[in-house]
Every structure is written in C-alpha cells, then in structure tokens.
Amino acid sequence: MKSALKWDVIAKCGTTKARAAVLTLPHGPVNAPVFMPVGTQGTLKGITPDQIEGLGCQIMLNNTYHLGLRPGQELLDTCGGAHVFQGWNRNLLTDSGGFQMVSLLKLAEITEKGVQFESPHDGSLMLLTPEHSMSLQNSIGADIMMQLDDVVSSLTTGPRVEEAMWRSIRWLDRCIKAHKKPESQNLFAIIQGGLDPALRKQCIEEMVKRDTPGYAIGGLSGGEEKDKFWRVVSQCTDLMPREKPIYCMGVGYAEDLVVCVALGVDMFDCVFPTRTARFGNALTATGTLSLRQAKFKDDFRPIEEGCDCIACKSYTRAYLYTIVTKETVGCHLISIHNTAYQLRLMRQVRESIIEDRFPQFIHKFFKDLFVEKSAYPEWAVNALKSVNVDLIQGEEQL
C-alpha cells in the first residue's frame, strides 16, 4: 500500500538489536527510538502544546474513540483536523479506539461488524467499525493511524485469543480498503496473538503480506508476567520487517523502554508520565520521588539536578511538596518534568546507539536506577542477556 513516511536507519548497535533512525512524516522528522506522550483527548493533561514542543517532542498521541465522541467528526472536519483544533504543528499518531475494548470492556459489545460502546458522557451508543475508525482518523488527520484491532487482555487464554488474532487480520483488510488518504496518512498494522508464540508468528506472516508502512506490537502491557512480555517483544522484532518502524504499544516505564530498545523496538507510548504526576510522583534517573512525603518539606533542591525543564529550573522539591495533589499547578509542573525525563532518556539512548556505546549506557542506566545488582529485575537481566548484554557478570565500561 502507499506510504507517507520515510524510514532511514542511521546507526545500529553492534551488540543488541537496537537502532537509531529518522522517521520522516508529513509534519516533520522524528528521531527514533522515540517515546510518544499521550494526549488522549487532544491534550497532554496539564501541558500546553507550546510547552510540549519546547520539550523537544516531535510526535504525540490522540485517541480516536475519545475524539470521535468529543468534539466529534463533524467539528474536526469543519476545523481541518486535530492538528489545527489543538494547536499542534508536529506529528500525531492516533490509537484506533481498539484498546477501549479492554479499558472500557463493560461498555463494549464485540462482533465481527465492530465494537459497540456506550458513551461515558451521555450513554448514547457508538458503533466503531474498521470503516468508521478509518473515517474518524482521516478526519483527525493523524500522520500515523492505527488499524482497528480486536484487543483482548494479555491475561486471556484459550480460543478467544486466536479468534481476536484472525479478526484483527480481517479488520486490517477492511481498514486498508476504507483508508481514504494513504498519500498523507500512514496506516500501521497491529500484531496480536496474546502470549502464544505460534499465534504471534502466524499473525506477523499474515500482516506482513499487507505491506503497511509500519507495524505495532499490540496486546501487551496488560499485567502479564514480564518474563513473558519480553519474549513476545523479542520474537516479534525478529520476525517483523526490519526496513520499517516497529512500535510497541503502551510501554512507558524507563527500564521497559531501555530493554525494549535493545530488543529492537523503535517507538513507544504510555500515559504513565502524566498519570503518575497526578499522584505527586516525579521520575528521575535514580528512581521515582514521591513528593507527597514529608522528607521533602525542607528540601530546596530541584526535582533532578541537570534537568532543564521549567519545574527543575524554577521550583524546589519543598515547594512541590507543599502543593502536590492540592493545587493543579503541582500536577502541571511534575507532568512537564516527567515528560521531559522520558524524552531526554530516549535522546540519550539514541545518542549512545549512534556513538556505539549503547551496552555501556545500559549498564550505567541500571546502576543509577537500582544501585545494587541484586535489585535488578530478573526479567530485564534475562532479556538483555538474550541480546548479549550481561548486567550481572558483564564488564562495565562506564
């Protein structure tokens, strides 16, 4: 099918499956590996578009299901799409709405035709079909559109997993047929199959035949064991086309990002940075700070030394302790910091790949975050060992 993107790999790690690339989209270039902040309803909670752009963000997410409900397709068509509507001049990726099958399952009825939702706003029914998802995403104008897939929880077992996998393939065909703007919007396929390696392999073989501009690993980050999570990710990156971008959906913890880059993933998204900010939690290279704790009441340091976000340049931990979870500006400032942290982490990862020192970066990252090797997550140790990085016995060239 037609493609409105260009994918240029500029460096490959000599040890792992990591790579650095430039993804050129209609609204500008994106440096990969990339973390994409999530603005579900047309905004990152508590952050303005100018502030997001000022952090160096090149691409963010919107959600088709929510924008289809409010403001609705007619208004999006009238104003010229979501870029104009929300004042965002860089790239957008839209989730098709399929994930709401899991997150809003009590509101959903799934059939071959599509998914019927009950609006959380007014109780009205909305039928989201592959065709309607494509129509909505064409109206939104996202640079990358995701196919509507049949999403089941990663904890689901039995025939339902295979049913969802085959239905996702059939729905991809319907999405391709319904997509009206392939010259300006890119449709990505989503690999399903649960935790079953045979189903994942079968799904990849079928999806690759459709030759979409990019591919996503779906159906993970739903509470499955991390040892199973990384094995699915690694299997998928081994089998998916390496000449196209690979996106792992819903991944946002720092250690998950670093490990999955090593396993060959290029793109990530998650609500975690802004969601955890609402609880007063700030992300740093040495771990999460719960700024609600009284120990910060007279701590006049910034959230993180060396961070150049406005929260760190202008405010102290003591000030944030006073206002977090009490004043909206507290959430605002921590959201800015957390988003800045995630974007900076990915820039550092990318630079280390380009300079061929990614394994050394991994060692330092884990040492900073966990301090003691005994605290390293076993799943991460196993995952990295599979791509020739031994966190426990390997020589640290720092």
Tell me whether residue 248 is in a domain.
yes
In a domain, 294, yes or no: no
Q: With respect to residue 70, please indicate whether it lies within any of the assigned structural domains.
A: yes
What pLDDT was estimated at residue 103? 65
Please tell me which residue in 8, 50, 95, 308 is annotated as part of the active site: 95
pLDDT per residue over 163-210, tens digit each?
A: 999 999 999 999 999 999 999 999 999 999 999 999 999 999 999 999
Lowest mean pLDDT among 90-99, 119-128, 264-273: 119-128
Which tens digit of pLDDT belongs to each residue from 296-353?
A: 999 999 999 999 999 999 999 999 999 998 999 999 999 999 999 999 999 999 999 9
- Candidates 6, 10, 11, 14; CA nearest to 359 is 14
In this predicted structure, the answer to whether residue 270 has a pLDDT above a threshold of 60 is yes
Instruction: Determine contact, residues 182/2, Cβ cutoff 8 Å.
Output: yes
pLDDT digits (tens, 9 = 90+) for 122-158: 777 778 899 999 999 999 999 999 999 998 889 999 9
Q: Is 256 an active-site residue?
A: no
∠ CA 90-91-94, nearest 5°, is 140
Helix (H, G, I), strand (E, B) or coil at 281: strand
Is 250 one of the annotated binding-site residues? no
Has residue 395 got a pLDDT over 70?
A: no
Q: Residue 328 has what pLDDT? A: 94
Is 189 contained in some domain?
A: yes
Q: In the predicted model, what is the mean pLDDT of residues 103-132?
A: 80
179 annotated as ligand-binding: no
Residue 105: per-residue pLDDT: 60
Q: How many domains does the chain have?
A: 1
- Kindly list the distances between the CA atom of residue 46 and the CA atoms of 166, 274, 315, in Å, as whole numbers in the listed order: 39, 8, 17
Does 329 map to a domain? Answer: no
Q: What is the pLDDT of residues 343-394, one digit of tens each?
A: 999 999 999 999 999 999 999 999 999 999 999 999 999 999 999 999 999 8
**Annotated catalytic residue, options 143, 150, 266, 269:** 269
Is 219 annotated as ligand-binding?
yes
307 is in an annotated binding site: yes
Q: What is the mean pLDDT of the chain?
A: 94
Residue 231 to residue 260: CA distance in whole angstroms: 10
Report if residue 54 sits inside a domain.
yes
Residue 80 maps to a domain: yes
Binding residue per annotation — 97? Answer: yes
CATH of the domain at 97: 3.20.20.105
Range of the domain at 162: 13-270
Biggest CA-to-CA distance, the chain: 60
Q: What is the pLDDT of residue 222?
A: 86
Is 297 among the domain residues? no
Closest CA to 186 of 40, 31, 26: 26
